[in-house]
Structure 1
Amino acid sequence: MADAAHDLARRLGRQAEAVCRHYLSAGWRQGHYWQVGDVRNTPGRSMFVRLRDSAKGPAGKWTDAATGEHGDLFDLIRESRGLSSFSEVVAEAEMFLGIPRSVHEAQAPLRKTENSSRDPVISVRRLFAAARPIPGTIVEAYLRNRGITALHETGSLRFHPRCYYRPDPREPIQPLPAIIAAVTDLRGRIMGIHRTWLTPDGAGKAVIATPRRALGHLLEHAVRFGRPYDVMAAGEGIETILSVRTALPSLPMVAALSAAHLAAIAFPPGLRRLYIVRDNDPAGDRARDSLIARAGSAGIEAIVLSPALGDFNEDLRAFGVDALRAELRCQLAPEDVSRFMMLSP
């Protein structure tokens, strides 16, 4: 299979400019190089791809002067399309070259290069940087369609108009609009991202098999809204947390993105009370119980906020914000009612 991979690399090298025009369409030719912002096809001029064999190296080698990243055309295809395995890269390259899949049906061995072993945090940070703030975008329309009006302190959310989605390694990439959420650690460093693909008008999630996907290091980390001091709320989904924040706009909150990750979130220093925003299902019950136990061991008071329906976004849409506020008032610690239950942030 190594010989097959080398042959495929040579074929790609002979068409290096065509590869660049297809996968790095935001760039342009500059002499014997293709110039673009980065390997994820961001407009700019810091990355150079060699288009011809020369004494400096073969065609297809590239370097990003801004980050020091470098690689070959396999790496370029992998990063630009967001692929995770070398077999996916081979399938994509064969599709580009028009090679029947049967020629290299067996999986090629994983190439142990510096780029292939690189921490995915680099990629997720670049994707977040390539997206733009949500005001005036379909992300704002999507959230408002779900009854969410608390859009202050949402710098962790951005909009990407053409975020790559691939339902299956054998199917083509689809560029779709998406919410890009930054998953950060307690120091505010981006460790992962969460993508929610949307319909073009923001009326709802895209009609695809898996409209939500996460990437990067998620364990203990979360999507954060507001800066916690001594009190914080934590739940699973972004929409669920923002629904509660619509009723409690001053309460700092985090979305852990799943029940398993909610159970494992890291507690910020100085936290003395944690509101657990549970989803009304067995997974939510398990996350609640685990988080109560962990909080108790850390000397943190845990108070559970429970929805009437499946989750708090369902409650918000079904009953309205005033009813949701009244529902939550009964569940808060008395001293937190006046502290966080404000009508405006």
Structure 2
Amino acid sequence: MVEKSHDLARRLADHAEAVCRHYLDAGRRQGNYWQVGDVRNSPGRSMFVRLRDGPKGPAGKWTDAATGEHGDLLDVIRESLGLIDFADVVEEARRFLSLPHLEPEPTSRRHRSTSAPSGSAEAARRLFAMSQPIGGTLVETYLRHRGITALHATGNLRFHPRCYYRPDEHSPTEVWPAMIAAVTDLDGRITGAHRTWLALDGSDKAPIDTQRKAVGDLLGHAVRFGISDEVMAAGEGIETVLSVSEAMPTMAMAAALSAVHLAAILFPAALRRLYVVRDNDPAGDGARDNLIERANAAGIEAIALSPKLGDFNEDLRHLGINALRANIRVQLAPQDVARFMMQAA
């Protein structure tokens, strides 16, 4: 028998205060309400969750006075954990209530929700929208621990304090803080999102088996930093390209997230010279060669930038910013040294 969403919401409402203490632990009880900043568990006082049935409505219903958002406790679970697929919300709610696991229903009988399909571009856009700017968050702490301090063009990075994580379908749900990166096409439209789960203090990645995952349409697209014109740089990892940006803060950068995706990245119409930020491994060599071949065929000059160690973030952390700049400087076209490096020297 399919369990109706309103039945599950009602069960959660019977334990409204316990739900709030678990998923909205940044708030506190005020009389017959739980008060918190918003449904994503930010500190503050603009959102109220009813803890008991009353004349103004049933327990479990909430309203955010600052935004006008409202919903029930299933919405609290979804937003506070960053869940995208409704099936995952149901599973988490049943886990919280200690209800038995539901066997999958035939497709014709499943609950039909308005949530975006898991792994879709729309799911990626919703995940990014659930997150917050990185200033003063664990994402900023994490990047600074990686030696990255030039954060002026990082609008495509956001922070989610309690991002859903499950290594496989048989494992329990966990929540970890995460860096959320928007993957965009050449027009700036979000086509995907990349999650990097972080340690609770932001000092490193989270101590889990799979520390990074992406959803959405990735091929040809990238996480972009700055506005590209006739010169830009492209590499694999977010931390790698941001390390290069430490030396050239005004050059546009793009992180394709893997060697395969780097080789397939699409070129802006105005691009005339592309710096290929390679990782020092066989996959990086293959991505470099394929991308240079594609760029040359499109009439774009392509120049490889090679690190001294495994990648440019290793160079930044272990050799320092001055050594990083010196290494990049000798690999640039002379006109780009004057344009992109003199102000960073």
Q: How many residues align?
A: 337
Partner secondary structure for residue 324 of structure 2 = helix
Indicate yes or no: 2:174 matched with 1:174: yes
Contact 2:82 2:163 in 1 (8 A): no
State the partner residue of 1:160: 160
Indicate yes or no: 2:13 matched with 1:17: yes
Percent of aligned pairs with the same amino acid: 60
Partner secondary structure for residue 344 of structure 2 = coil
State the partner residue of 2:244: 244
Q: CA deviation at 1:303?
A: 0.8
CA distance in 1, matches of 2:27, 2:125: 21
Q: 1:155 to 1:341 in 2, by over 3 A?
A: same
Q: 1:186 to 1:106 in 2, by over 3 A?
A: closer
Contact 1:247 1:343 in 2 (8 A): no
Contact 1:60 1:73 in 2 (8 A): yes
State the partner residue of 2:188: 188
Contact 1:88 1:169 in 2 (8 A): no
Q: CA deviation at 1:87?
A: 6.1
Partner secondary structure for residue 92 of structure 2 = helix
Q: CA deviation at 1:246?
A: 0.9
State the partner residue of 2:220: 220
TM-score if structure 1 supplies the norm length? 0.77
State the partner residue of 2:131: 131
Q: 1:108 to 1:90 in 2, by over 3 A?
A: farther
Q: 1:125 to 1:91 in 2, by over 3 A?
A: closer
CA distance in 2, matches of 1:280, 1:341: 23
CA distance in 1, matches of 2:233, 2:293: 16
Q: Which runs of 5+ in 1 are unaligned?
A: 29-33, 53-58
Deviations 1:62-120 (A, max 9, x none): 9x9xx9x999998886676455667655543432342333xx44565465554354894
CA distance in 1, matches of 2:139, 2:36: 27
Contact 2:85 2:118 in 1 (8 A): no
Contact 1:156 1:181 in 2 (8 A): yes
Which moves more between the two structures, 140-149 or 130-139?
Answer: 130-139
State the partner residue of 1:283: 283
Contact 2:116 2:122 in 1 (8 A): no
Return the letter of the residue paired with 1:179: M
Deviations 1:237-271 (A, max 9, x none): 11100111111222211111111211221211110
Contact 2:86 2:115 in 1 (8 A): no
Partner secondary structure for residue 214 of structure 2 = strand
Q: How do 1:42-61 and structure 2 match up within 5 A?
A: none
Contact 2:85 2:117 in 1 (8 A): no
State the partner residue of 1:261: 261
Q: CA deviation at 1:280?
A: 1.3
CA distance in 1, matches of 2:98, 2:105: 18
State the partner residue of 1:210: 210
Q: CA deviation at 1:17?
A: 2.2
Partner secondary structure for residue 271 of structure 2 = coil
Q: 1:106 to 1:249 in 2, by over 3 A?
A: closer
Contact 2:153 2:225 in 1 (8 A): yes
Q: Which runs of 5+ in 2 are unaligned?
A: 29-33, 54-58
State the partner residue of 1:201: 201
Return the letter of the residue paired with 1:92: E
Q: 1:259 to 1:118 in 2, by over 3 A?
A: closer
State the partner residue of 1:55: none
Q: 1:27 to 1:279 in 2, by over 3 A?
A: same
Q: How do 1:89-100 and structure 2 match up within 5 A?
A: 91-100=91-100
State the partner residue of 2:333: 333
Return the letter of the residue paired with 1:176: W
Return the letter of the residue paired with 2:221: H
Q: 1:219 to 1:296 in 2, by over 3 A?
A: same
CA distance in 2, matches of 1:260, 1:311: 17
CA distance in 2, matches of 1:270, 1:218: 22
Q: CA deviation at 1:300?
A: 0.9
Deviations 1:302-332 (A, max 9, x none): 1111112211111122211111111112211
State the partner residue of 2:56: none
CA distance in 1, matches of 2:337, 2:204: 33
Return the letter of the residue paired with 1:291: L
